[in-house]
A and B are shown apart, each in its own frame.
Chain A
Amino acid sequence: MRLKRLDLTRYGKFTDRVVDFGDAEAGAPDLHVVYGPNEAGKSTLFAAWLDLLYAIPLQSPYGFLHPYPTMRIGAAIALRDGPREFVRIKRPQNSLLDLHGQSLADNAILAELGGIDRDAYRTMFSLDDETLEKGGEAILKAQGDLGQLLFSGSSGLADLSRSLDEARQLADGFYRPNARSGELHELQKQLGELKREREQIDTQAAKHAELAAAAKHAKSRYDEAGAKRRDLLARKEQIQRLLAARPRLNKLNGLHAQCAPLEALPTAPAAWREEVARLRDDEIKTQTQAQANRDQRAQILVEHDAIVVDAAALGVAGRFEALAAAQARALTADKDLPSRHDERRELDLTIGRLLRQIGHDDDPEPQRFVLPPSAVERLRGLIETVSGLDAAKAQADGELDAARRRLAAAADALGAADASASGADEALLIRLKEAADALRNGDHAARQRLALRQVEDGRAALADALAALAPWRGEPEALVGLTVPEAHQLQSWRAQADAAQDRIAKRASEIDRLEGEIARLTAERSALAAIAGLVTDEDANAIRGERERAWTEHRKRLDGASADQFEALLRRDDAAAAGRFAHLANLTKLQENARALAVAEVECARAQGQRAGAAADADALANSMRDAIAAVSPLLPENWPPASLEAWLGRREKALGVGRELRRCEADLAAAEKDADRLRARLAAALAALQLPCPDPVDDAALLAAAQLALDGEAKRRQRRETLDDRRRDLEARKEASEAAERKRAQWAANWDEAVRSTWLGEGGSTPTVDNVRGALNVAADLATTVKQRASLDERISKMETDRKAFASAVASLARDLDLPDESEPLGLHRQIADRVRDARVQRDRKAERASDLEKLDAAARELDAHAQSLTLRKQDMTSHFGVSTLVAVAETLDQLARRDLLRNEIAEIAGEIVETMALPTLDEAETALGDVDPVALGGELAELSAQAEHLENEWRDAYAAHNDAQRQIDAIGGDGQAAAIEERRRTALLAIEDGARRCLKLRAGILATEQALRLYREQHRSSMMARASEALRLISRGAYANLTSQPGKDGEVLIATGADGRSKNVAEMSKGTRFQLYLALRAAGYFEFARNRTPIPFIADDIMETFDDFRAEETFRLFSDMARSGQVIYLTHHRHLCGIAREVCPSARIHDLSGASA
């Protein structure tokens, strides 16, 4: 298999990139260096190659630019059966296609790979930095084991030894001889622990039986001791009761004797004892209270009768009280009156002063000078307005003067302008303006400019288009009339011509190939013929012919010479036959060669014939084309191909179009010029009508300037006239304003006069001035206030004096009724009356108080009487009950009853105690039981029993503890599943051990088998690979190592390298660099080994020489170049200098530059 071309149509960063590796050159190494800077996509290239072979994986990192559905890789691959084209797209199935998009079975490629899968390809036929590094390490790790190294060299699987080590570690992890650790050890430890644990928590059956027996024995001991103990305690208790009850019975009998004499007394309610004491106290208290009451009543009666009441004073009390308000007013008047009189005199003086101010001294009627408010208001209003009217008049006069001056100025200005007036006709001026506007605003100028430029451009374009029609020459008009072929005709010619050319080209390439083949076969024939001793069929036939002829001659002559001749030829024929026989294989080749040659020659002739046919078709087509071209124009070359003619016709169409466009532009230009002329003529006419000078009638600017001058002059005059009119109107308005102000002032004077005369102000004959009136108004206002104050004061004085008189008469009337001596001073009299009335009231109240006290004392006396009676009744009840006469006797009897009750209680209590102590149902039974008791004998028995009880108690307790202990141990056994759980864990551990043992043995078996298989592998590949590897190592070490051999090592045969100096080195002694070289050498040997047996597969190395110096790089390329003699080797790099080294080492190496076009 060989990669001829890789199309990165849409893959990774590539779009339509083709890397063409070309064909292999016979005899030259098939080495390729693909150069691309970092990120240029070298790895992408390798991935694309693998993806082409093995399909694009489900998840691809190369779909970032072209999404999955568009990804596409193509390749031309030389297979055993010849070259083939493949395309790979990304989809789950049927992703391999041929050039026509038909899907192919993946096997179309995979069959060639002989089942080497993607991973195997990577490991066997690619090499990168990492692999190299690992390879070097692996050599060391394998300790030079030959089998492993050969295997790793062939397979590219560097870490075989690591795999073996890992497997060994796993197996050791379970069990390793003489090791005190590992899974097995742990599990066994766990088993031991589980056993101990179980023994601890579990009770075995035998122990259980022991415990049960002990428990039973203790139980019976306990029961027996218990029974004895109970009996003893009962007897002891009985004795204690008898001894305790005896003294109590004696006491009971004593009490009965004390109680007997009291039994005859009648019973009485318990409350009586208290009641008797209370009754005695109450009786004494009631008697004392009655006496005190009677004494108090006598004393109060004396007081009551001693009080006398003033009846006359009480009789006038009402009238006196009604005088209170009048008395208050009389008091005030007495105090105020003198100051009121002073106030009034002052007011009189003020009025006199004011009258003097207005020149009416001592006028008896000051009231007359008070002005009514309406008059005051009117006068003040007039005073306020007069100054405004005067100012308005002055302003109007000033403005009138100014207006007169402005009118005169305007008249002057108009006078000057009027002198240049033409008195133009308004209609003519409007015509002039319209004409000027039309000329100014017209678009003719712009159109003219545009059309002119287009015409110029059009002419240039037409000239170009005509020039492009060379070799045809002529006027544009001539172009229109040409006879040209139809478009479909042209297409048909073109298709025919292409088809004919295609056929010719195809045939030519076929002829090339066949001629090559013929040449090769001819050369082969010559080579075969040149082989010594080989007799060709022709030669053999010639010799046989000569022999036959000699035989005929000899038959004819039968002489010695003919016989010699015949013999010579016979021998030659034999020799030829022998030669042919000896070179039978070559002869067969020669014959095959002849057959192949004949076939090739026939095929070549047929191809030539077909090429001639195609050429004839092409000629016929050329003829018909020639006629058509001649029909178009004799100026055109007759032998033009259809494409040229088609192009020329296209250019003609274009020239025609340019001509049409030019004519349209010229028409535009003419129309614009016509419009301009018309507008100018109209303006000139308008100027003429106004008899204005007309400048150059074709100069737009001059015409417009003349018109504008005329129009501007007229506008100025019109404006001045309007100004003069405005001034005149202004003057009239000013005059009117001045007159109106004058009228308003006169009206005011009339009003003033009238207002003054309607009051006392106008009394003097002449009209007073504004200032005079202003002063008089102020005085009149003060006067009015003062006069009003005086009237009010007079009224108050008179009222006070009236009150005083009324009060005096009322007081006098009361004094008379009370027979008081008449006094001139009413207020003093009033005070005396007041004293009398107050005293009378005090006496009256005291008498009423004493009367009320007497009534209360009478009521209390009645209540005390009733209480005394009830006490007497109760006393009689008690004395009669006991048959005594006094309450003191009653109290004594009650004391005796209380003592009897106490005795009875004590008797009952002691009787109860005896019954309780004896634990018998009744007292009688207890008395009987106690009848014949001997306390001394009982005391002796009790002491003995106490001694026995202590002993029994101990025995009973011991038995209880023993039983309890045994039972607790039995109970502690419990009924849970703990023992079963431990058993389960033990089983689990055992299962884990069995499982682990099998796993361990499985691993050991695998390791053992691998080691033995590696030895077999070593034996099978040793001879061929060692030779190759030696050679490769010698090559890349520049002869530093001459040879590789092996020698028996600890675990098998190990690899030894022999240096040029004859010294041997094992792998551990080699430098790291040397180990890389050794690994490379082994890989090369592996590749040769593969190629020896199978179709070689392209080998891809990815920049493994990063760290190599130039010498090593050179040697490495030498190795690759060597490998490239067996199969295609592609080296990917981003170091440009490596390209040079590769070329130097291997001139036939091809460099492909990924950064630009391929080299």
Chain B
Amino acid sequence: MRIVDLCLEERVDALLLAGDLYDGDQTSMKTARFLADQLGRLAEANIPTFVIRGNHDALSKITRELVLPERVKVFGGRADVASVERAASEFPVVIHGLSYTHAQAPESLVAKYKAPVAGAVNIGLMHTSLGGSPGHDVYGPCSVEDLNATGFAYWALGHIHKRAVYRGAATVVMPGAPQGRDVNEAGAKTATLVTIGDDRSVRLEERLTSQAEFERVEVDVDGVSEWRDLAGAISRALEAARERARSAHLVTRLRLTGATPLAWRIRRDADLLTTEAQQRAARTGDCWVEQLDVACRPPSANASDGIGPVGELGRLMEDNVLKSDAFRADLVDLAEELSKKLPPECREAFGSDAAAFTDTLARLATEGVEDMLARLQARENGTAA
């Protein structure tokens, strides 16, 4: 809706959508109708929309059922060219497009596109993972050089959620998702407003589309010795992050670092602190705390972790227990038992492969030990030293 608003506001000549309008095997006609209604708004304003289908769309049953307004051009499974309506006195602009018919496209699609129309500004619309990207399977792989060699003026790409721009013979833009889904897609998300000048130059502008943006916020609590000051440090960090954020809402993942005598207590009362941080975020305004990670340690001068029975117990855990095969085997049993009880979508909660599984378990064990020590440390009097 924000993109459609933007198009209407800027009175654009055309909207290009480079695939993956829906995520996964989306079968909801409600969502599809919402899309159709929005594109209808553009059609009413006489703005054409050019759409190709991506790997997700290919999976989606609604793609076949959905009736889109007449001004929406959906490219088929064979490469095609469509012109953008323009006055006779102006140079012509044509859009090349090719839709996925299957969810997979292990080979480059560049060669399938038609040759550029002579005398016109040629714009390519392609769904591709380019050279591949971490966290994404390979779809229609190709290189920027391949694209530069096509003789097109502009390539509008889709698939990868992170924005990237390549300037060469062609201007290649992967605009990224218009809204981040989680903290791994941090920062403000945008659509790209492209202006082709009378001299056929290409000008790009990023326009904010994300309603909410995700952000990892590090809070340095080094030397902080009072709980109150700790909350203050969190507040300040949140305010600074809010200041930086451009979207209407900010969702943060906090990470506390540094050496502080409160380290044990922070670890033990992480729930409390999370609630406090969430309240502080609410006070900051349009700001949320999704998670709080504790990565702070006690100052070395106060190194009771090496001293006394608790320290000794800690050392035993660290030096003996965590390294023992018996412990590891027990832990794997626990993890597997738990994993079986999770819904299928969450089966990879402890890592998608064996190496990640081992890493996750080791990390969880270390943190679990830290947490237990924290519970023992600040137990007796309930307050931090």
Binding site for B on A (CB under 8 A): 54, 58, 110, 114-120, 122-124, 151, 154-160, 163, 166-167, 175, 177, 184, 188, 191, 198, 201-209, 973-980, 983, 990-991, 993-995, 997-998, 1000-1010, 1012-1014, 1016-1017, 1086
Taking a contact as CB atoms closer than 8 A, the residue among B28, B338, B385 that contacts A117 in the complex is B385
Interface residue B371 (Cβ < 8 Å from any Cβ of A)? yes
Interface residue B369 (Cβ < 8 Å from any Cβ of A)? yes
Q: Which residues of A contact B335 (CB under 8 A)?
A: 1001
Nearest Cβ distance between residue A205 and chain B, in whole angstroms? 4
Interface residue B330 (Cβ < 8 Å from any Cβ of A)? yes
* 8 A Cβ contacts from B318-361 to A: 320-322, 324, 326-327, 330-331, 334-335, 337-339, 341-343, 345-346, 349-350, 360-361
Interface residue B64 (Cβ < 8 Å from any Cβ of A)? yes
Contact between chains at A993 and B343 (CB < 8 Å)? yes
Contact between chains at B302 and A977 (CB < 8 Å)? no
Q: Which residues of B contact A166 (CB under 8 A)?
A: 375
Interface residue B61 (Cβ < 8 Å from any Cβ of A)? yes
Interface residue B377 (Cβ < 8 Å from any Cβ of A)? yes
Contact between chains at A1010 and B372 (CB < 8 Å)? yes
Q: Which residues of A contact B103 (CB under 8 A)?
A: none
B64 nearest in chain A by CB position: A205
Taking a contact as CB atoms closer than 8 A, the residue among B34, B62, B321, B380 that contacts A205 in the complex is B62
Contact between chains at B324 and A1012 (CB < 8 Å)? yes
Taking a contact as CB atoms closer than 8 A, the residue among B331, B334, B385 that contacts A119 in the complex is B385
Q: Which residues of B contact A1017 (CB under 8 A)?
A: 309, 312-313, 316
CA distance A1010 to B310 in the complex (A): 11
Taking a contact as CB atoms closer than 8 A, the residue among A58, A974, A990, A997 that contacts B30 in the complex is A974
Known A1005-B334, A1008-B334; judge A997-B317 contact (CB<8 A): no
Known A119-B380, A157-B380, A974-B30; judge A1002-B371 contact (CB<8 A): yes
Taking a contact as CB atoms closer than 8 A, the residue among B62, B301, B320, B331 that contacts A1008 in the complex is B331
CA distance A124 to B375 in the complex (A): 17
Interface residue B304 (Cβ < 8 Å from any Cβ of A)? yes
Contact between chains at B349 and A184 (CB < 8 Å)? no
* B interface secondary structure, majority: helix
Nearest Cβ distance between residue A86 and chain B, in whole angstroms? 18
Contact between chains at B27 and A163 (CB < 8 Å)? no
Binding site for A on B (CB under 8 A): 27-34, 36-37, 61-62, 64-65, 182, 226, 291, 301-304, 306-310, 312-314, 316-317, 320-322, 324, 326-327, 330-331, 334-335, 337-339, 341-343, 345-346, 349-350, 360-361, 364-365, 367-372, 375-381, 385
Q: Which residues of A contact B317 (CB under 8 A)?
A: 1009-1010, 1012-1013
A-B contact pairs, 21 of them (CB 8 A): A114-B307, A116-B304, A120-B310, A166-B375, A167-B372, A177-B337, A201-B30, A203-B29, A204-B27, A204-B28, A975-B33, A997-B342, A1001-B331, A1009-B369, A1012-B327, A1013-B316, A1013-B317, A1013-B320, A1016-B320, A1017-B309, A1017-B312
Q: Which residues of B contact A980 (CB under 8 A)?
A: 28, 30-31, 34
Known A205-B65, A1013-B316; judge A191-B343 contact (CB<8 A): yes
Q: Which residues of B contact A118 (CB under 8 A)?
A: 385
Contact between chains at A167 and B310 (CB < 8 Å)? no
Q: Which residues of A contact B376 (CB under 8 A)?
A: 157, 160, 163
| Apart from A191-B343, A975-B36, A1006-B369, 4 more pairs, CB < 8 Å | A155-B309, A202-B30, A993-B349, A1009-B368
Known A202-B30, A204-B27, A1004-B368; judge A184-B342 contact (CB<8 A): yes
Contact between chains at A117 and B302 (CB < 8 Å)? yes
Contact between chains at B34 and A976 (CB < 8 Å)? yes
Contact between chains at A978 and B30 (CB < 8 Å)? yes
CA distance A118 to B312 in the complex (A): 17
Known A157-B376, A990-B346, A1001-B334; judge A124-B368 contact (CB<8 A): no
Q: Which residues of B contact A208 (CB under 8 A)?
A: 29, 62, 65
Contact between chains at B320 and A115 (CB < 8 Å)? no
Q: Which residues of A contact B27 (CB under 8 A)?
A: 202, 204-205
CA distance A157 to B361 in the complex (A): 29
Contact between chains at A115 and B341 (CB < 8 Å)? no
Nearest Cβ distance between residue B350 and chain A, in whole angstroms? 7
Contact between chains at A120 and B327 (CB < 8 Å)? no
Known A115-B306, A160-B376, A1008-B330; judge A994-B368 contact (CB<8 A): no
Known A997-B350, A1008-B331; judge A977-B337 contact (CB<8 A): no
Q: Which residues of A contact B369 (CB under 8 A)?
A: 1005-1006, 1009-1010
Contact between chains at B343 and A205 (CB < 8 Å)? no
Q: Which residues of A contact B320 (CB under 8 A)?
A: 1012-1013, 1016
Contact between chains at B375 and A167 (CB < 8 Å)? yes
B330 nearest in chain A by CB position: A1008
B366 nearest in chain A by CB position: A1005
Could you say which of B314, B334, B372 has the most chain A C-beta atoms within 10 Å of its C-beta? Answer: B372
Contact between chains at B313 and A1014 (CB < 8 Å)? yes
